Amino acid sequence: MAAKRKRGALAAGKAKRARSAPSAERSPPPQEHPVPPQEYRIPPPVSQGKWKNKERVLIFSSRGINFRTRHLMQDLRTLMPHSKADTKMDRKDQLFVINEVCEMKNCNKCIFFEAKKKQDLYMWLSNVPQGPSAKFLVQNVHTLAELKMTGNCLRGSRPLLSFDPIFDQEPHYALLKELFIQMFGTPRYHPKSQPFVDHVFTFTVTDERIWFRNYQIIEEDASLVEIGPRFVLNLIKIFQGSFGGPTLYENPHYQSPNMHRRLIRLSVAAKFREKQQVKEVQKVKKKGTKVLVEEDPTEVVFETPAEEKPVEIQLVKPESKPIVKDKKKLRKIQRKKQKKLFRTEG
């Protein structure tokens, strides 16, 4: 039985081989309509482009900042995928140490938040290590969590930068515009960025200050919804070097927070001093000699003598009224008195 099975298996194998041989010898049927090869080509993804603009921005701060500054710094890091973080810098260190920190972090731009007196916030924008650098006073800070705006954007998307027309008219604003473009503009083909443009950074000059806003692009008709954060930059100085050097521009309209607080105190003191002077003048007027006015003889014409009423002397002691708490008893007593009076009269 085993031999028969082997013979049958061999025969089946031969038959299978014999059947498969002619099929291999057959040539494929000719195609009547050949498909062009271009239709099957898939375009490469956008992210495979070369990352040429390797801008890296270091965002960190000094010690002594408050919670609002810390949240603002975190919001800027989330909006800028090409940014890096670092630990807080000691306030005793000099500012030129930041150039070495940026070199260790492999960053060529820096945004440094400097806190003073736990209430004043300054921002440094610097091109490391050659310069230039600019120092701003940050005012009216509102963070993402604080605003609760309805806008939203994709994390890591590339923003559009919108500038006021005055940035092309003044030379110091033109320099600041180039700084803002290099820092806030996400490089193309950055590994952490997304190939989408769905929000706008606006820089507007009003009241000698730069107003920063972040808007979401909802539709193609340029309808915008604010996302946040928002803050105002008051320019102080522009330096030739990184965190120092010769001064290229100084804002004549800038007023330091200390001077502003001093003027407020002086105005309050002036108001208090003015009130005290008014009180002293009133006291002097009261203490001064009173001027006697002569009597007018015609005033007697309008005086009418009062009627003299005869004086009545009561010889009989008035009856004492009984003190009764109950009203019913009081009424009974009054009725009894009336009855007695009627009897005496009768």
Phi, then psi, of 7 in degrees rounded to 5: -65, -40
Q: Taking a C-beta distance cutoff of 8 angstroms, is the pair 173, 211 a contact?
A: no
Tell me whether residue 103 is in a domain: yes
pLDDT per residue of the chain (346 residues) written in tens, 0 to 9: 444 454 544 444 444 454 544 444 455 555 555 555 556 566 554 555 677 888 899 999 999 999 999 999 999 999 999 999 999 999 888 898 999 999 999 999 999 999 998 889 999 999 998 989 999 999 999 999 888 888 888 888 999 999 999 999 999 999 999 999 999 999 988 888 888 899 999 999 999 999 999 999 987 777 899 998 999 999 999 999 999 999 999 999 999 999 999 999 999 999 999 999 999 999 888 887 667 778 888 888 878 877 888 888 888 887 777 665 677 777 888 888 888 887 877 6
Tell me whether residue 14 is in a domain: no
Element (H, E) at 112: strand 109-116
Strands (E) across 207-336 are located at 209-217, 224-226, 230-241, 244-250
115/67 Cα distance (integer angstroms): 12
Q: Which long-range contacts (CB under 8 A, 24 or more apart) does 207-216 make?
A: 208/234, 208/235, 208/251, 208/253, 209/139, 209/233, 209/234, 209/235, 210/136, 210/176, 210/234, 210/235, 214/79, 214/151, 214/159, 215/151, 216/151, 216/152, 216/153
Cα angle, residue 126 at apex, residues 81 and 170 outer, rounded to 5°: 105
Tell me whether residue 173 is in a domain: yes
Q: Taking a C-beta distance cutoff of 8 angstroms, is the pair 127, 242 a contact?
A: yes
Cis-peptide into 129, omega within 30 deg:
yes
Q: Give the number of residues written for the chain.
A: 346
Tell me whether residue 100 is in a domain: yes
Tell me whether residue 286 is in a domain: no
Phi, then psi, of 279 in degrees rounded to 5: -65, -40
Tell me whether residue 305 is in a domain: no
Tell me whether residue 27 is in a domain: no
Element (H, E) at 134: strand 133-142
- How many domains does one find in the chain? 1
Dmax over CA atoms of the chain, in Å, equals 168
Parent domain of 182: 57-260
- What is the CATH number for 246? 3.40.50.10480
Element (H, E) at 113: strand 109-116
248/237 Cα distance (integer angstroms): 8
Tell me whether residue 307 is in a domain: no
Pairing of strands 199-206, 83-85: unpaired
